Every structure is written in structure tokens, then in C-alpha cells.
Structure 1
Amino acid sequence: MLASGFGHVSPKWVLHIANRPDLPEFHHDDFRVLAEGEVASIIQNTSNHWRKVFSIMAKISFALYDTGCESWQQYRDTKLLTGAGFEALNYLHYAEEGADNYFSIVAGFQYAATQLNLDKLITHQSTSKLLRIEGRDCIVTPYFDWRQLNNELLDKLIGVMSSSMLKNTVDK
């Protein structure tokens, strides 16, 4: 289980990010599952930044899993980072221990440089904006913002995750 952050207790994928919502309930270094509607509340009570992060997360899970929702927006507002979701957000630090149980995304190259040795990362075959750790289900991406992680790059990321998850299913 992750030491800090929020989301599903057994996520299929985890977003490792340098910051957390600037709300009192997130000032602690613990992990918890969000309640339905809590993502919408975070968006409403913080900056547009968290709407972008949560929207990109919702697009990823909506593309990869049967969410039972009609749109990624509905998924974001009802199931993202809850016990009914597929993901978690970790804001303390990236750790390889336990990471074999889920796919990791480290968001932002500046943050990744504090967590990983970037010289050992491998560039994705079609873009230098996606870096991966050889032999691990971990990828470094631009920060989760539409200008940095545009739809074309997001589609490539989803493709990498889908291929990895398919490979892991076949290997087991």
C-alpha cells in the first residue's frame, strides 16, 4: 500500500506527483480513499490545476478500463480515486518497493529528476517526452497539464500502458 496520497487501496496505476491539493485534509502524509464526489469538491475548492490533473487521470482510466460510466467526465466526478476507481495519487515520493503491483507514472521531468536517475531512462520509440525505466512498469511524462501532455502524447501514454498491462496479463 502507498504511504501517502489518495485513491484505490489496490490501484492498477499510480500517478506520482510533486504536490497535493492545498486543503487541510491533504496536509498529512497518509493514504486514504476518497469518497464519491470528493474529486469534484477538490476541483471546486482549489485552482484549475487540479481540474487538469484529475481530468487527465480520468481520461486514462476511462480509456483503459470498463468504468461503467458514459464519459470520462462522469468517471472523474463519481469514481476517480475512490474505492470504485482504478488509480491512486502519490505525493510523497516514488518508491520502487511495491511498484510491481501497479503501473507508475511520474509526472513532470523536474520532479522525476528528484526521484530517479534520468540518465538510466529509455526514450519511448516515437517521442522523447515519454521516458521509461527498463524492466519496470514505470514511465516519466510531462506534467499533467494540457499544454505539456497534449492529446497526442496522452494517446501514446495510454497505448504504452495498455501494451504493458496486456503483456503482464499474458505473462501471468
Structure 2
Amino acid sequence: MTPNQTDDWTRLGSPTARLALYLPNRPQVLAADAALNTPDVPCLIRHNGNHWRKIFSILAKLCAPAEQRWQDYRDLELLHRHEMICFADCLLQDAQWHLVAGKASWQRLGLDPLDYEPLDDAGPVRVSGNILLTPYPDYRQFSNRTVEQVRAHLQVKGER
């Protein structure tokens, strides 16, 4: 079976997720896997390459429990219960947290960064309530320092 990108799905992961990461582009997904609630992250990485490995790795670093290695969380549990990646043109009502990643996603959702407060004085993350405008999840833009800041904010506000 060859990977193909379908246009009829707007999220990847658990429909009851507490955290939604909004991205502008979908990964290529095997047609049989497009509707799965529990995607196979290692398979998605194999089919989509290093770019998606970085996205899944940053999301795992943000969400993995403190007692678990983020690599194990990424490969075994990510997107199964607590997280989803969303490609819709609106914020999902059910998510507790909305991480809107990158300028293209901010614009698609009609969010103006000037309406949001900086998470800290030197960081690139802006926040208002349960919505965080973040850099695109790439190591150059979403540094380990930024991961720690966002992770701490989610923990303080009750994510885990």
C-alpha cells in the first residue's frame, strides 16, 4: 500500500484529547490508517521522514510524564489518549489546551499574536487563557528551552 494524503480528516489522535496541536499541513497517512484514533507514530515517521519525527518528538517532550522517557512516550503512547494534532480551520471545542504552532496556523485560525501576552520576557510563546501561540515544532524554532517553558506552563495550569 502506498501512502496517500486524504482531505477528509481534520485531526490525528484521540478525539477526546486534552491537548490539541494545530499545524498547517497533514502528514501522508496510509488510507487504512487515516481514521484511526490511535495512530502508529513510528509508522508515520517512517512514511513522512525527519520533519515529522521532529514534530512528534517535540510534542512528546511537551507531554510525556516526568517518570517516562519522552522517546518511549512518542513511540508507544503519543496521540493515543491525551493529545491530538489538528488541521481544522477552527479551534476544537473539547480540547483543554490549544497549542497553535507557527504563523501559518495562527493566520489560518484568525489569531493575532498582539492579542496574546508573552509567556516570558525572552521566549517566543504567547498565551491567552488556554491558547498558546507557539513556534512551529522544529528544533531551530522550538528549542529545548521553549519546550521546558511550555511544559512548565501546562503543568502549572493542570495539564498533567
> Do they fold alike, i.e. is TM over 0.5?
yes
Q: Superposition RMSD on alpha carbons, in Å? A: 2.5
For the structure 1 residues 128 and 152, does the alpha-carbon distance in structure 2 shift closer, same or farther, using more than 3 Å as the test?
A: closer
1:24 CA drift (Å): 4.7
In structure 2, relative to structure 1, the CA distance for the partners of 1:94 and 1:162 (3 Å cut) is farther
Separation in 2 of the partners of 1:63 and 1:86?
A: 11
- Confirm or deny that 1:87 pairs with 2:93: no
Corresponding residue of 1:72: 70
More helix by share: 1
Pairing 1:55-134 to 2, within 5 Å after superposition: 55-63=57-65, 70-82=68-80, 85-95=81-91, 98-99=93-94, 101-115=95-109, 116-133=111-128
Residue aligning to 1:45: 47
Structure 1: runs of 5+ lacking an equivalent: none
Instruction: Note if contact 2:101-2:137 (Cα within 8 Å) is conserved in structure 1.
Output: yes
Q: Secondary structure at 1:129's aligned position in 2?
A: coil
- Count the aligned residue pairs: 151
Q: Percent identity?
A: 24
1:120 positional shift: 1.3
Contact preservation (8 Å) 1:5, 1:32:
no
SS, match of residue 60 in structure 1: helix
Asked whether 1:33 is paired with 2:27, we answer no
Counterpart secondary structure, 1:54: helix
Mark the CA change 1:127 to 1:109 in structure 2 (over 3 Å): closer, same or farther.
Answer: farther
Instruction: Name 2:140's counterpart in structure 1.
Output: 147
Unaligned regions of 5+ residues in structure 2, if any?
1-8
- 8 Å Cα contact 1:14-1:87 kept in structure 2: yes
What is the Cα deviation at residue 111 of structure 1?
2.3
Amino acid at match of 1:103: W
Give the Cα separation in 1 of the matches to 2:127 and 2:89.
17
Aligned counterparts of 1:127 and 1:138: Cα–Cα separation in 2: 19
Give the counterpart letter for 2:90 in structure 1: Y
Q: CA deviation at 1:125?
A: 2.7
Q: Is the 8 A contact 1:105 1:139 kept in 2?
A: yes
The list of structure 1 runs, each at least 4 consecutive aligned residues, that deviate by more than 6 angstroms after superposition, is: none
CA distance in 1 between partners of 2:148 and 2:123 (Å): 15
Give the letter aligned to residue 130 of structure 2: D
Query: Could you list the per-position Cα deviations for residues 106-160 of structure 1 after superposition, in whole angstroms to 9, with x for gaps in the alignment?
Result: 0112321231133312222333401112xx2010111001110010111011111
Could you tell me how far 1:49 is from its partner in structure 2?
0.6
More deviation, 44-53/55-64:
55-64
TM-score (norm 1): 0.77
